[in-house]
Amino acid sequence: MRRGFTLLVAWVVVIGLVTTAISLAQEYPTFEVHEIIQYKALPQYSEAPELAEAVARGELPPVEERLPKKPAVIMTSGMSDGPGVYGDVWRTVSAVPTAGWNWAAGVVGGWFGIEECMQEGLVHTGMAWRLKTGEPGPNLATHWEWSEDGKTLTMYLIEGAKWSDGHPFTADDVLFTYYDCILDPHVPSWQGAGTWTVGGEVAQLEKVDDYTIRWHFAKPFPVYLLWYMGYLNFSVAPAHVLKPYHPKYNPEKTYEDFINALPPHKLPPVVLGAWVPVYFKEDEALIMKRNPYYWKVDETGKQLPYIGEFYFRKARAGIQRDLDLVAGTCDQTHLETPGIFTFISEQARLPGARFKIIPGRWTLTFALELNLSLYQGVKDERDRALRELFRNLEFRKAISHAIDRETIARTLVPGPMLRPLPSGFPSGADYYNAEAVISYPYNPAKAKELLAGLGFRDTDGDGILNWTSGPLAGENLTISVKVHEDQTACIDIVEMLVPMLEAVGIRLVPKIVPATVGQAMDTAGEFEFNMTRQDFLSAPYTVLASLAPVTAQTPNWHRAGPGDKRDLLPFEARMIEIVEALKYEVSYEKRKELFSELQKLWTENLYTIGVIEGIYNTAITKRFKNIPIGVPARLHQWFHLNVMQEQVWTPKEEQLPEFLPGVIVKYSKD
């Protein structure tokens, strides 16, 4: 009786939260750019107490000398709770190993907010959800203008901003990032030359002066590229730090030297972001302190950020962040682990709960990626045979028909917070069109029929189908599925997929790896199935290069092999045409038509095999102020950029003691 009562309560709680989520999903204020951020001089400036004390000791220049003459001003009109006070620590959990600080070479600092604390792009894509234009906001580039013919884009950079070591930020940093990292084929940056190829030519970047750059394109108005000028894809790197390690500038160095130039224990790294790593102990903790040279202020002249410290507890799985939130030792989490949705929801409703839930959207996406490349990562006959099988639509249909999505959703969360996802975009995504979705629902009999039609038979009577021809004749139909160990929900889903696929004669073998290892496997194409969250599909226009094989690195499941060799599937040719058209399409209605066609091709051909989708909620401590109404956990960016975390503050009486009180960021002279 008690168990039944508990489940009933859980259902009521979840249904209530879902109803709230759906009703509030679009109810948030939007702003003009100038209502959120302006670049202007203020009459006076102030700073955090520990920085003022460092100035008094002669360890730092006065705040006026550390700021640009016209700093970025976060406007009160765009704040939920107005200007704040200094102090407090933002506590969270990172479940990805910290590999180092050379983000321009694709080196991972640890995710879960770590990258967002350090990196800054030319534009601010996380601001887009709050802007009436729906376009990226300004950041290091204060404004920009297109030429009349649309082939030239001039950007004006913030003047006088400094890196965290006091070195000036200039156009030289931008050009180094573009030419010597992004475009250099020997550097594994997040986007390569393919992303920046317009009309068959790689975009050229010109330095006009220290604070003006000019882009030159072969085709007019490639407006989509603005979305690639933000965080991660174009996080500007410190040229003065990295040039001595780059083979172009130092012949004694190798590209391996360059990639590994900034290991995790080399502290503090030089950043433009609001916080700087100062302490790191592997598998235990990473601590960041406020950047003394951060170039943003509030409207009263207070140098940001308000919160002085970020504390990242190191863990092996993202679920630890959820558990720590409930325990009161973590301040924010994305609710991305369906297995504990109900538990977190119940805890948030208890009297005296220290955190609240911000309702989200149907953008939490779990899907299987089947490796479709015939060249990248193909090492032997087995690899080749599997890739050819994966490219067969009848096989992909069999996999889809073998998956009982309703059972997976109900098992993970009792209630309507999860539902089946046939394939393609989640239903909460920009440009989603339900009428464009083709579905291959659960039907194990049909799956068996399709597999038999492909020639598979259980010839040895062990319940697993065997190859009956080709180099693998006689072997069991065994497929490995890669899962990143920090994605707990993906592991849970795979555990349920194993018996479902076995029921139709396929042996699925989970391969759980650290995220950094998994990302390397992705790049090398060394996986068969990949079970993952495809959150990037929530804002497809911002990730066009990832939607079709338009670059050598994209999409993840069909990368080009050596020499950019790649055999397209028939429908992929049209997908490329659609993506190319979307790059230059300025009409929203026409974009909707193109995305609908793309979605139909994607789902009809099972480009990826969807499993479930969910409402992507955020849970956050109640003591934090300036959390924008309706802030999404994931849309154009993750929560940390969507919330503009430098503006978050806590009332004095609710602040927690820092782990490293009084510590300021210092660099050795060498």
pLDDT digits (tens, 9 = 90+) for 341-375: 888 888 999 999 999 999 888 998 999 999 999 99
Report pLDDT for 670. 61
Report pLDDT for 430. 86
- Split at pLDDT 50, 70, 90, the class of 489 is confident
Q: For 124-156, what is each residue's pLDDT tens digit?
A: 999 999 999 889 999 999 999 999 999 999 999
- Split at pLDDT 50, 70, 90, the class of 19 is very low
pLDDT at 175 over 50: yes
pLDDT at 312 over 70: yes
What would the two tokens of residue 18 be? 């879902």
Residues ≥6 apart with Cβ < 8 Å to 481: 368, 494, 497, 508, 509, 510, 511, 528, 529, 530, 531
From the number of C-beta atoms within 10 Å of its C-beta (0-12, 13-18, 19+), residue 534 rates as buried
pLDDT at 528 over 90: yes
Between 33-42, 189-198, 296-305, 337-346, the lowest mean confidence (pLDDT) is in: 337-346
Instruction: Taking residues 523-535, report their average pLDDT.
Output: 95
Dihedral sign for Cα 82, 87, 93, 99, please.
positive
Report pLDDT for 28. 83
| Cα distance between residue 46 and residue 212, in whole Å | 29
Consecutive H or E run containing 123: strand 123-124
Q: For 572-592, what is each residue's pLDDT tens digit?
A: 999 999 999 999 988 889 999
Residues ≥6 apart with Cβ < 8 Å to 516: 96, 97, 99, 108
Residues ≥6 apart with Cβ < 8 Å to 592: 431, 433
| Cα distance between residue 151 and residue 204, in whole Å | 11
- N-to-C CA span, the chain: 69
- SS3 of residue 202 by DSSP: strand
pLDDT at 334 over 60: yes
pLDDT at 234 over 80: yes
pLDDT at 22 over 60: no
Between residues 318 and 283, which one has the greater pLDDT? Answer: 283
Instruction: Taking residues 514-523, report their average pLDDT.
Output: 91
Q: For 434-464, what is each residue's pLDDT tens digit?
A: 999 999 999 999 999 999 999 999 999 999 9
Instruction: Taking residues 47-65, report their average pLDDT.
Output: 97
Report pLDDT for 6. 29
Cβ–Cβ < 8 Å for 274, 117: yes
Between 96-110, 119-133, 408-422, the lowest mean confidence (pLDDT) is in: 408-422
Q: What is the mean pLDDT of the chain?
A: 92
Between residues 628 and 319, which one has the greater pLDDT? Answer: 628
Instruction: Taking residues 478-498, report their average pLDDT.
Output: 94
| Cα distance between residue 512 and residue 486, in whole Å | 9
CA-nearest of 143, 229, 254, 278 to 661 is: 278
The C-alpha angle with vertex 273 and arms to 624 and 643, in degrees rounded to 5, equals: 35
3-state secondary structure 53-83: HHHHCCCCCCHHHHCCCCCEEECHHHCCCCC
CATH numbers and ranges of domains, the chain: 33-311+623-654 (3.40.190.10), 362-615 (3.10.105.10)
Cβ–Cβ < 8 Å for 45, 301: yes
Report pLDDT for 359. 86
CA-nearest of 311, 310, 301, 303 to 50 is: 303
- Split at pLDDT 50, 70, 90, the class of 20 is very low
Report pLDDT for 9. 30
pLDDT at 15 over 70: no
Instruction: Taking residues 585-605, report their average pLDDT.
Output: 94
Instruction: Taking residues 147-174, report their average pLDDT.
Output: 97
| Cα distance between residue 394 and residue 643, in whole Å | 44
Q: For 260-297, what is each residue's pLDDT tens digit?
A: 999 999 999 999 999 999 999 999 999 999 999 999 99
